[in-house]
Chain A
Amino acid sequence: MNWIVHQLWLIPALPFLAAGVLALTPRRQRAFAARLAISALAVSLALSCAAFVATLGHAGTGTFRERVNFTWFQFGDQALRLGWVLDPLAAVMLVMVSFVGLLIFIYSVGYMAHDANFTRFFCFLALFAGAMLGLVIANSLLLLFVCWELVGLASYLLIGFWFHKPEAAAAAKKAFITTRIGDVALFLGMLWLYSAGGTLLFYDAGEGCLENAALARIAGPSLVGWGTLVGISLLIFGGAIGKSGQLPLHVWLPDAMEGPTPVSALIHAATMVAAGVFLVARVFPLMKPDWPSLAGGIPLAGTPPPDATLAITWVGAITAVFAALIAVAQTDIKRILAYSTVSQLGYMFLGLGVGGVAVGMFHLLTHACFKALLFLGAGSVIHGCHDEQDIRRMGGLRRPMPVTFATYAVGMMALSGVPLLFSGFWSKDEILHAAHGWAGSRIPFYLGLFGALLTAFYMTRQMVYVFFGQRRAASTPPAAASGIRHPASGEPHESPLVMTVPLAILAVSAIVLGFLGTPAWPWLQTYLGADHGGSGGVELAKLLTKETLWLMAISTAVVTAGIGLAWRWYGQRPITDAGTPDPLQMSFPAAFRWLRQKFFVDEFYAATVIRAHAAWARFSDLLDAWLWGGLVLAVHFLTQGLSWASRFFDEYVVNLGFDAACRRLRRDGAFAAGLSDGKLQNYLRGIGTAFACLLVLLLWGGCR
């Protein structure tokens, strides 16, 4: 086994260590903080590259996969094991995360230079990087979940980094809770998988939960078992929905833009949100089990019943279009990119659903580069415009910010999928190609095409607003529609080198990366283990097959249409005043309102889920105060009443009766005492009277 496999744990451990040290570092050690975090991640990047190289050597001899498992703790006489794994999937993610992460770390030195909590910022960034790298190498769903939650924590801390802003504090909370809804699903899926399969290790010498033995054990020879498998997959996919901002849990991602821009780039575009896609790719054998090998010749063998990829495909396709539609009408430079991210993540899920790991992961990798580029470019714009985020108040930035403009243009064309030269074209075409060939339905393919049109449209709109036309900073947009808080002042300026160099590097990768997965040379697909039937060399002929060419033509036409439409609406007559309504708004006011208001999803949730939760909380509280508390009070009053009754009985029946009897006795006693007064005459009178009475009685006739 390669040495790097044994030392793989160092890759996440180094940033974690840096985060731990920085948490205890005094605030004024700014230079030390940046240096420590950057050097830790740089070493991680070097190790990741070493790991990547190690996996390369084995191409062709089956899939390279080495793992190290260890016991975390024991409960009773059982052991809970974790581990890490190095395979192509992990290796490319490692390189991507540490590479993009490192560039963003460097960029942050410039972007956050004036922030008072600079040290804390690098602490959180390092924590995030460690958690994300840990997630990538995890060989156990539990370890993956642990890192998954830590990534969520880092995201919470970073979104709420400017916690004195109420919006940031609210957005951080919203992000954590919305993703936690998905996390609970993932948690339950994990429990189910653990109890059904008996292990959470992915690969464990044939016994791991992604290997056939365990899968067969779960699926069994019956449809019930297959249902279990699909149920587990769907629950795990629920976690991915939350983390990757898919419908219906996408609402947190645009709000997360309240965080500093490098955070948006690192976490909410390039890496963390891709964790959901990575998770599905990691457990893909579970999502799309190999039916014949599981059914194993038992009568059920035949057409496989539906599996979780069906849900993944549809969720991805619908989200891709839904979010792209919203992006069309937004005015905040970062929110447009945020909705674009949601939409692109939808593409990745679509790719996973219809084409498998390689297709989805290819788009993940290219997207990470160009979306990080776009976000950092947006950050550079915001920085240069003195914290202005409203694209209506920008304009004409092409001249004062040439480097930002050039790199942003590369990113924009990569995202829109401008043909041949840009990576987004190749990876998106792979997805469309797979969707076209999908047996289930043709609709996801059309949705994908429509999404591509929208993508080209909103990116061109944004470019025109920001970089073309003339500067509109002085004019104010209509108050009702404005989301701005920082009035811009001063002339825009280009950002310092520490920010533009990462932009340039990312721009180069946004172009180059696409050539790793073209139909002519599907290196990445082969590397990730997809069976393309190719020899591994360059085959130009494959590029020229009828179907490929036809699809490329369609996608080119769609992209051209998108750019053309946007240019016609926005570019030909650039608006001169930030208060001018959007041209689209003038043409389709009703539809535009829905798009601008994000289909009212937030409002819908506020009116239903959030209100229901608040009502339930109030109900529980009232239940306590009145029902349970009331029962206790009732018992209390009952007891008190009984006490009163017994006191009454005691005082008024027993005591008073006793008293009355006593008084009577005393009176009678006094009377009797009066009788026996010791005077002989009185006694004799009594005797005499009695004798006389007796005599009369006898004489009256009593002797008969």
Chain B
Amino acid sequence: MNSLPWLTLLTLVPSLGGLIVVSLGERRAAFAPRLGLLFASLTLLLAILLGTQFDRTSGNLQFVERHAWIPTLAVNYHLGVDGLGLLMVELTTLLVPMAMLASARVNRRAPLYFGLMLFLEAGLVGTFTALNFFHWFLFWELSLIPAFFLIKLWGGPESSAAATQFFIYTMVGSVAMLLAFLALFLAVGKFDFLELADLSRSGQLAASLNLEWGGHTVASSRVATLIFLGVLLGLAVKVPLMPFHTWLPATYAEAPTAVTMLLTGAMSKMGVYGFLRILLPIFPAQIRALETPLLTLTVLTILFSAAAAFAQRDLKRMLAYSSINHLGYCLLGVFAVARVAEPSPRLATEQAAALSGVLLQMFNHGLTAATLFCFVGWLERRSGGLRGLNDFGGVRQVAPVFCGLMGIALFSSLGLPGLNGFVGEFLIFKGSFSPATCSTVLSAGGLLLTAIFLLTLMQRVFHGPLNPRWTALPDLTWRERLVVAPAMALMFLIGLYPHALLSFTNATVSQFAKSLRAF
């Protein structure tokens, strides 16, 4: 289609940029922010060009690059994006420059900081474009390492412990996933996601698994389920799904703000992406078999995280729980989609709605949550490190623009129509209502709980009498306004004209839904 290896370039540019920035050394550290931003912007430019080249009428994978790599292990270098991958690539490349701009002044080892951010970007883009388990997993793990060091070296007082917990927690999930894929490989000799999905669709996967593993150590019917659970664990930790979420609040709270923006904005999407790219196409029967427990966990995730957010006194932790809550809606959509088996036209509508909603919600949450953390970071910088719910009060009197813009982001987060959050949530709930009525009704309670804690945040921080401590709190500077301006514009654009985003995913969604119903 296009001779230029777009997707390779997209991972190569930030990787090379990272290397160059890291090699700046302490003497030329002053250049690091600008150089880092340059490479991140270059990547964003590439991603935007990719978007313009993308054929919206096709649901197939595009910009495919496929080269044999280690033929004996069935490892191919296989890249490609469809609507899903493209959306995630755009989100990641958009958030990285924003996070860099929002970074507090980095005093120590600036070249390393900006270099690691670029490596993180490379890992994320790589994960969202890889189609072969081998290098997909490589990127999946590689993105962890820069994140670990970014949290540990530039985070808050407890960051070392938080980084370790984050790393080990995720690692446990990854190991389970790796084992599961090795078991798959030994049975069918394939690592390619598309080929595995084809095998699964034709029923060969189950047969081969039985042949290879059945009867020896585990009952043959359990094999596929066990492998599924391994992959599920890896993804569930990342999203996170309760009860595998405890790493998240501590990590988000301790990480430097810019890193939290990337963690919640882009990295948490890796999990949901995995659900859509791997779990749904390869293990639909297993999801369907475990539908009830999975939906139960999802509902618990939504309700408990929203309630726990209300109990937090640290703004970052509150938003962290809100993040769990919002990604819970994505999983609700994913599991509801899996439940629809019979090909009836009405349920096809529900599937299309839920899938579109999940994709939109992924993008929206990335945008909104990152913006919110950005604002909290700025608040923290102004207050000299304070970010407690009760440390402020009446801030809107001295910083009306700050509160106005953060208020928009908060209302976007609680799903106010006219802003981006609503459309995604509406589509998810619409698509889930018929297939999973009970879970959907219970999850709707999460909408109310979200409103309660977000409005409490506004009441305590923005409103009421001005806390005399903050009479000199500066309002947003023009530079800061420019940093959030693109995100704000997108919130309104997607809220009023969702077609701008959905037109990229519609063909993918139709094809995806059709392939799911083919089982």
Residue of B246, B430, B448, B463 near A184 (CB, 8 A) is B448
A623 to B321, CA, bound (A): 13
Q: Is the CB of B350 within 8 A of A195?
A: yes
Q: Is the CB of A184 within 8 A of B445?
A: yes
- CB of B264 within 8 A of chain A? no
Interface segment out of the listed A172-180, A318-326, A367-375: A172-180
- CB of A605 within 8 A of chain B? no
Q: Is the CB of A153 within 8 A of B416?
A: yes
Contact string against A for B residues 272-290, beta-carbon threshold 8 Å, 1 for contact and 0 otherwise: 0000000000000000000
Contact string against B for A residues 164-178, beta-carbon threshold 8 Å, 1 for contact and 0 otherwise: 111011101100110
Residue of A72, A177, A181 near B498 (CB, 8 A) is A72
Contact of A153 with B411 at beta-carbon distance under 8 Å, contacts A164-B397, A187-B444 already known = yes
What's the nearest-Cβ distance from chain A to residue B42, in Å?
32
- CB of B36 within 8 A of chain A? no
- CB of A150 within 8 A of chain B? yes
- Please indicate the chain A residues that have their CB under 8 angstroms from the CB of B307 in the complex: 613, 616-617, 619-621
- Please indicate the chain B residues that have their CB under 8 angstroms from the CB of A632 in the complex: 165, 169, 246-247
Within 8 A of B (CB), among A664-680: none
Residue of B312, B418, B459 near A169 (CB, 8 A) is B459
Interface segment out of the listed B194-202, B227-235, B506-514: B506-514
- CB of B394 within 8 A of chain A? yes
Q: Which residue of A lies closest to B404 (CB)?
A: A23
- CB of B355 within 8 A of chain A? yes
A120 to B109, CA, bound (A): 45
A189 to B452, CA, bound (A): 21
Q: Is the CB of A177 within 8 A of B447?
A: no
Residue of B353, B396, B429, B433 near A78 (CB, 8 A) is B353
What's the nearest-Cβ distance from chain A to residue B518, in Å?
15
Q: Is the CB of B346 within 8 A of A164?
A: no
Contact of A78 with B349 at beta-carbon distance under 8 Å, contacts A73-B502, A191-B429 already known = yes
Contact of A73 with B497 at beta-carbon distance under 8 Å, contacts A176-B451, A177-B451 already known = yes
Q: Which residue of B lies closest to A131 (CB)?
A: B418
What's the nearest-Cβ distance from chain B to residue A353, in Å?
26
Residue of A72, A74, A177 near B503 (CB, 8 A) is A74
Contact of A621 with B311 at beta-carbon distance under 8 Å, contacts A150-B417, A150-B418, A187-B429 already known = yes
What's the nearest-Cβ distance from chain B to residue A78, in Å?
5
Within 8 A of A (CB), among B489-519: 497-499, 502-503, 506, 509-510, 513
Q: Is the CB of B440 within 8 A of A191?
A: yes
Within 8 A of B (CB), among A64-123: 72-78
Q: Is the CB of B417 within 8 A of A145?
A: yes
- CB of B221 within 8 A of chain A? no
- Please indicate the chain B residues that have their CB under 8 angstroms from the CB of A620 in the complex: 304-305, 307-308, 311
- Please indicate the chain A residues that have their CB under 8 angstroms from the CB of B465 in the complex: 164-166
What's the nearest-Cβ distance from chain B to residue A63, in Å?
29
Contact string against B for A residues 125-150, beta-carbon threshold 8 Å, 1 for contact and 0 otherwise: 00000000000000000100111011
- CB of A163 within 8 A of chain B? yes
Q: Is the CB of A164 within 8 A of B464?
A: yes
- Please indicate the chain B residues that have their CB under 8 angstroms from the CB of A168 in the complex: 463
- CB of B43 within 8 A of chain A? no
Q: Is the CB of A76 within 8 A of B510?
A: yes
- CB of B208 within 8 A of chain A? no
- CB of B434 within 8 A of chain A? yes
Q: Is the CB of B430 within 8 A of A194?
A: yes
- Please indicate the chain A residues that have their CB under 8 angstroms from the CB of B506 in the complex: 74-77
Q: Is the CB of A195 within 8 A of B312?
A: no
Contact string against B for A residues 585-628, beta-carbon threshold 8 Å, 1 for contact and 0 otherwise: 00000000000000000000000000001101111110110011
- CB of B351 within 8 A of chain A? yes
- CB of A631 within 8 A of chain B? yes
- Please indicate the chain A residues that have their CB under 8 angstroms from the CB of B462 in the complex: 163
Q: Is the CB of A74 within 8 A of B311?
A: no
Q: Which residue of A lies closest to B427 (CB)?
A: A75
| Interface residue SS majority, chain A | helix
Q: Is the CB of A629 within 8 A of B246?
A: yes
A617 to B165, CA, bound (A): 25
Q: Is the CB of B242 within 8 A of A628?
A: yes
Q: Which residue of A lies closest to B408 (CB)?
A: A23
Q: Is the CB of B464 within 8 A of A169?
A: yes
| Residues of chain B at interface, number, CB under 8 A | 67
Within 8 A of A (CB), among B292-312: 304-305, 307-312
- CB of B188 within 8 A of chain A? no
Within 8 A of A (CB), among B458-502: 458-459, 462-466, 497-499, 502
Contact of A76 with B356 at beta-carbon distance under 8 Å, contacts A146-B418, A620-B311 already known = yes
- Please indicate the chain B residues that have their CB under 8 angstroms from the CB of A450 in the complex: none
- Please indicate the chain B residues that have their CB under 8 angstroms from the CB of A146 in the complex: 417-418, 422
Contact of A164 with B510 at beta-carbon distance under 8 Å, contacts A75-B427, A620-B304, A623-B304 already known = no
Q: Is the CB of A76 within 8 A of B353?
A: yes
What's the nearest-Cβ distance from chain B to residue A683, in Å?
64
A616 to B449, CA, bound (A): 11
- CB of A519 within 8 A of chain B? no
What's the nearest-Cβ distance from chain B to residue A678, in Å?
61
- Please indicate the chain A residues that have their CB under 8 angstroms from the CB of B305 in the complex: 620
A77 to B511, CA, bound (A): 10
What's the nearest-Cβ distance from chain B to residue A15, in Å?
14
- Please indicate the chain A residues that have their CB under 8 angstroms from the CB of B509 in the complex: 75-76
Contact string against A for B residues 431-448, beta-carbon threshold 8 Å, 1 for contact and 0 otherwise: 001100000110011011
A184 to B352, CA, bound (A): 23
- CB of B243 within 8 A of chain A? yes
Q: Is the CB of B463 within 8 A of A76?
A: no
- Please indicate the chain B residues that have their CB under 8 angstroms from the CB of A74 in the complex: 499, 502-503, 506
- CB of A198 within 8 A of chain B? yes
- Please indicate the chain B residues that have their CB under 8 angstroms from the CB of A181 in the complex: 448
- CB of A192 within 8 A of chain B? yes
- CB of B377 within 8 A of chain A? no
- CB of B382 within 8 A of chain A? no
- Please indicate the chain A residues that have their CB under 8 angstroms from the CB of B441 in the complex: 188
What's the nearest-Cβ distance from chain A to residue B47, in Å?
23
Contact string against B for A residues 512-527, beta-carbon threshold 8 Å, 1 for contact and 0 otherwise: 0000000000000000
- CB of B455 within 8 A of chain A? yes
Residue from the set B246, B348, B397, B440 with the largest chain A CB neighbour count within 10 Å: B246
Contact of A628 with B418 at beta-carbon distance under 8 Å, contacts A72-B498, A613-B310 already known = no
Q: Which residue of B lies closest to A163 (CB)?
A: B463
Residue from the set B243, B308, B416 with the largest chain A CB neighbour count within 10 Å: B308
Contact of A76 with B351 at beta-carbon distance under 8 Å, contacts A169-B464, A180-B451 already known = yes
Q: Which residue of B lies closest to A627 (CB)?
A: B243
Within 8 A of A (CB), among B337-390: 346, 348-353, 355-357
A173 to B394, CA, bound (A): 15
A236 to B416, CA, bound (A): 18
A195 to B448, CA, bound (A): 22
- Please indicate the chain A residues that have their CB under 8 angstroms from the CB of B499 in the complex: 72-74
- Please indicate the chain A residues that have their CB under 8 angstroms from the CB of B445 in the complex: 184
- Please indicate the chain A residues that have their CB under 8 angstroms from the CB of B242 in the complex: 628
What's the nearest-Cβ distance from chain B to residue A461, in Å?
34
Offer 14 A-B interface pairs, CB within 8 angstroms, sorted by A: A75-B356, A75-B509, A145-B417, A169-B463, A172-B463, A184-B444, A194-B430, A195-B430, A198-B349, A617-B307, A624-B249, A632-B165, A632-B169, A632-B246
Residues of B within 8 A of A (CB): 165, 169, 242-243, 245-247, 249, 304-305, 307-312, 346, 348-353, 355-357, 394, 396-397, 411, 416-418, 422-423, 426-427, 429-430, 433-434, 440-441, 444-445, 447-448, 451-452, 455-456, 458-459, 462-466, 497-499, 502-503, 506, 509-510, 513
Extra contacts, 17 of them, besides A75-B355, A177-B452 (Cβ < 8 A), are: A72-B498, A73-B498, A73-B502, A75-B357, A75-B427, A76-B348, A76-B510, A77-B352, A149-B417, A163-B394, A169-B464, A191-B429, A195-B434, A617-B310, A620-B304, A620-B311, A628-B243
10 nearest A-B residue pairs (beta carbon): A76-B352, A169-B463, A75-B356, A621-B311, A146-B417, A620-B308, A617-B310, A620-B307, A163-B463, A617-B311
